[in-house]
Structure 1
């Protein structure tokens, strides 16, 4: 990744960054202004700068649900932004089972065969998050650090949070987890020209990557403090706190995980059983548990190439009428007590539910959690309050406060399983509830990585495809990506010697 001098665009110009390597930084445009001139615009006429930055902020938010973020010349129905990242993580694990391999979209992820440098998936992931960083840097660079306008402060804060979020997610997929590998090579740290001394063109040590992400999260939260966002598609201080709390679980910063998860969920409440089972619980951004998401409209819908195309069992998509149903792992489902309301989020004969004619045709264990919305306009869920309760409880358990963890977890479990009444819970107990509560929402792989767990799809009664009934130990490079070949070809700072190992062990045991 070649760090050349970035030319600041004029106050009336917007920046579109779609490539990798040089394209992220070698920006050339005829109309340019100095940094001092841009700062002067912000100080003398903040309204004018708002008009420049606001579309960039909207563009960054919308990029999270954009189709074909990798600018492929072909069809890429498995590339629809952030929800692609979340879904590929779920299918790379053992909590989600395929009914059939189908058309190939996400199949190689399910088979853990998409890790190699020359494949599309490592490039997609790298390109997506570095594009987020580039777009965030464009906003950060346009807004002075001493800005006083409330909206400009918020836009800078939101962009900083996006940048921290992106660096943290990159670090998780191109190196083993943080604990025990703090000085292992991570990913490049990409900042604005004003911050050039803190940037790192090569593979920065994980310690440095996460330190920069923490710095961005905390600076972003400070700028966002007190700002009232216009809608849930934007990051506010509480969402920023939630995203930082996610990262704290990775770095084992239990104190901050507790503090910021608690801060994030203030004022929110969990679904009641009826609300959990309602048709709009997981497809409508206005639902009460939702903290952050994307409002999918006729303008932002990507139809067949979308999260709900794969996860909704009811519609004309891949996971519905095409027959590539997404199912919960049988052993995970069977671990729920009979009184757990979440059992009703999956089709199973044991529930005693009178299913519709369409649902009767679904295979056992098929998810009915993600319901359809007409015209492919189901909204995308990025964060909800139950995650924050689980984060706080897990961190308390890791600190040894098992009774405190149980008290927090009870807030969730009182609405999920009336028979649940533990006075103490371990971190493993909380993790089990994360698997059940957040199923299909994009957490399973990242949880497995940070908790150093392997996968086991090969057990008696397994409902995974027989061709993918893997047993893979924790720490396997099958779970991670090699650096994309295009980055190696275009970077002066990263060479083939910096590449991640090739996994060689058998996936079957």
Structure 2
């Protein structure tokens, strides 16, 4: 036994020495931030990667099915969400409407760039200080955009002392638990990011897939609207409108077929090669069976409420947004399609492929009209003028209205116009919450005869989504929204 111990001890020491050498071997294929973002070109790739991580499809679908924009189609797999029965552990919330991961992931990407960019090496003649500043501006724009989206998902209407979410303004590799902060502090940081980035990004619309001054003004107007900073909303929306006029009735349909970029200061590009099919939120792609085109499953139909709100003969928006598909009606299938993101022809690779329009002039007219009506000056004539301008660009032979008789009448009309103009762009549910209005569906649009699937009352806690249970478990400082349990 003693002899064996003498043998084992040197062997053990030799083994430990070998392990130590292995531990001291430097990793050769580890790509750290210092290497990945070593050059200005690397940092530009990081910014482009952040853009690539953005997606508004989730917001488009959420605002459609939680409001009165759609009715159930042929495949009803989102009953708990459509009927407002979701919880923090709901599968649809977990899989389809979890804004924490995608938006904070983009924030993490741009924060890495913001940390690395000042010391990045210049390897190209174009790596000037102006170009570095542009990249910083784009990163700040994306950080503000993402935090605003997180706010819209998980926070109630703006009040400085109410809870927002964590505002992550620097790269934190240790991933610490972070608490929710007050809305006042949250929006102070968000607005500071927008103010700084506006002086850094280009004043050009040559590439509307990247941040520019007009896009920043548009986001500032949207943020001011949610904060009820009416004078700011008027200022920023006017800045946007002055730079980008409304599309004509002739060019308007081309916005939705990607034939032109009229009105658009910022959009997210989508392509068939990446499998990005926004139109598939509402219907599956078609196929050829026996030499005949067969439409795919219709997941969501246009609601009767929305469909019937247009002058179908004179309003250019109706044909741009909807289609009564004969292939479906001939087969005795529901045929009132959402066609806003229809993309290319049936059975082609580009079917259901269309760019997501994020900021456009029509929204700015509606923001300005609402801000004029709500402002201390209560410019009801100015609000009517903005609504008249928008409708005249959309409706043939439109007869303008005079000044609204009251603020209440103005807001009701503006909300109707937002419903029609911004349909399926990710606004309706949040608009109703923002204005303290209920979701009210027609009986023909409701999934059941139960009143609970037809009306979501004003102030109901489900106007604010639950913080996903996985996030609550991962972040011990995260507080759940009222009404939900984990």
TM-score normalised per structure 1: 0.74
The aligned counterpart of 1:424 is: 403
Distance 2:177 2:134 in 1: 26
The aligned counterpart of 1:212 is: 189
Count residues in correspondence. Answer: 423
The yes-or-no answer on 1:275 pairing with 2:251 is yes
The yes-or-no answer on 1:111 pairing with 2:105 is no
3-state DSSP of counterpart to 2:265: strand
The yes-or-no answer on 1:437 pairing with 2:421 is yes
Deviation at 1:404, TM superposition (A): 0.9
Query: Structure 1 pair 169/384, CA: closer, same or farther in 2 (3 Å)?
Result: same
Query: Structure 1 pair 347/261, CA: closer, same or farther in 2 (3 Å)?
Result: closer
Distance 1:346 1:120 in 2: 26
Query: Structure 1 pair 54/285, CA: closer, same or farther in 2 (3 Å)?
Result: farther
After superposition, the CA RMSD in angstroms is 3.3
The yes-or-no answer on 1:475 pairing with 2:456 is no
The aligned counterpart of 1:221 is: 198
Q: 2:383 aligns with which of 387, 405, 420?
A: 405
Q: 1:243 aligns with which of 208, 215, 219?
A: 219
Look at both structures and tell me which one has the larger radius of gyration over its CA atoms.
2
The yes-or-no answer on 1:500 pairing with 2:481 is yes
Check the 8 A contact 2:466/2:480 in 1, yes or no.
yes
Q: Which moved more, 1:208-217 or 1:229-238?
A: 229-238
The aligned counterpart of 1:324 is: 298
Q: 1:463 aligns with which of 437, 445, 449?
A: 445
Distance 2:305 2:246 in 1: 26
Distance 1:348 1:227 in 2: 37
3-state DSSP of counterpart to 1:274: coil
Deviation at 1:315, TM superposition (A): 4.2
Deviation at 1:120, TM superposition (A): 5.6
Check the 8 A contact 1:171/1:187 in 2, yes or no.
yes
The aligned counterpart of 1:297 is: 271
Query: Structure 1 pair 229/340, CA: closer, same or farther in 2 (3 Å)?
Result: closer
Check the 8 A contact 1:130/1:166 in 2, yes or no.
yes
Q: C-alpha offsets along residues 336-377 of structure 1, whole Å, 9 cap, x if unaligned?
A: 34643334346688xxxxx75557666364333332324134
Deviation at 1:488, TM superposition (A): 2.1
Distance 1:131 1:454 in 2: 33
3-state DSSP of counterpart to 1:293: strand
Check the 8 A contact 2:265/2:360 in 1, yes or no.
yes
Distance 1:288 1:124 in 2: 32
Deviation at 1:249, TM superposition (A): 1.0
The aligned counterpart of 2:153 is: 173
Question: Gaps spanning 5+ residues in structure 1: where?
Answer: 1-28, 39-47, 65-80, 350-354, 505-509
Check the 8 A contact 1:315/1:321 in 2, yes or no.
yes
3-state DSSP of counterpart to 2:71: strand
The yes-or-no answer on 1:452 pairing with 2:436 is yes
Distance 1:463 1:434 in 2: 19
3-state DSSP of counterpart to 1:223: coil
The aligned counterpart of 2:315 is: 340
The aligned counterpart of 2:239 is: 263
Distance 2:330 2:194 in 1: 47
The aligned counterpart of 2:14 is: none
* Structure 2 counterparts to residues 102-181 of structure 1, below 5 A: 102=76, 104=77, 106-117=78-89, 119=91, 121=93, 124-144=98-118, 149-178=129-158, 181=159
Deviation at 1:119, TM superposition (A): 4.1
Distance 1:430 1:200 in 2: 42
3-state DSSP of counterpart to 2:367: helix
The aligned counterpart of 1:57 is: 47
The yes-or-no answer on 1:203 pairing with 2:174 is no
Distance 1:287 1:359 in 2: 33
* Structure 2 counterparts to residues 389-404 of structure 1, below 5 A: 389-399=365-375, 400-404=378-382
